[in-house]
A = this chain, B = another copy of it.
Amino acid sequence: MRKYKDIGLKLTPQRIAILDYLDGNRQHPTAEEIYRAVSKRFPTMSFATVYNTLETLRRRGSISELTIEQGKKRFDPDPSPHHHLMCMVCKQVHDIGRDFPLPLTEGERRGFDILATHVEFHGICPECRAAGTNARAVAG
C-alpha cells in the first residue's frame, strides 16, 4: 500500500494512525474496527475522518474496498487484484493470491468493458465447524 509514499496526500496524525493500522493488516477490517483501533490513539477520532480517509486512499488506488459481507464495507491494504475466502459464520476473510483463468465469451461480455474480476469462496472455517454451527442456518 506504499505507506506515506502517497505524494499529494496531506499527512495528518489521524491519517498516519489509519495507515499504520492498515499496513500489513491481513484482517480485512471494517470501518468500525478501524475506527475502534485508531480511537485508542486519538480519542477525538470521528467516523467522518475514517470514512473520508479510506475513500481518499481507495480513490488513489492505495487500498481496496471489499463488498463481501452484507451491509458493511471491509478494507484491504493490498490493492492488487486477488481473491477472497470468507467464513459464512464468523465472517473472517482470507486472501487467495492466485490467478484463475476466467475468460468470458463475447456473448457473455454483453459489450461491457471488464475492469475487475473477483472470486469469492464462501464456507465454514475450522473453528466454527468445531463449534458445531449449523452451516445450513447461514448458508441457506
Contacts and interface: CB of A to CB of B under 8 A. Distances in A.
B111 A126 contact: yes
Given A69-B67, A70-B67, A120-B117, A112 B87 contact: yes
Contacts of A59: 140
A23 B59 CA distance: 39
Interface residues of A, number: 44
A85 interface: yes
Number of this chain's copies in the assembly equals 2
Given A59-B140, A69-B67, A140-B59, A117 B119 contact: yes
B110 A61 contact: no
The prevalent SS among residues of A at the interface is: mixed
A33 to B, nearest CB: 17
A122 B116 contact: yes
Given A65-B140, A120-B120, 14 more contacts: A59-B140, A67-B70, A71-B71, A85-B108, A85-B110, A85-B114, A104-B121, A111-B125, A115-B135, A116-B121, A116-B123, A118-B120, A118-B122, A119-B119
Instruction: Report the 7 A-B pairs with minimum CB-CB distance, sorted nearest first.
Output: A111-B126, A112-B123, A114-B123, A116-B122, A113-B124, A118-B120, A67-B70
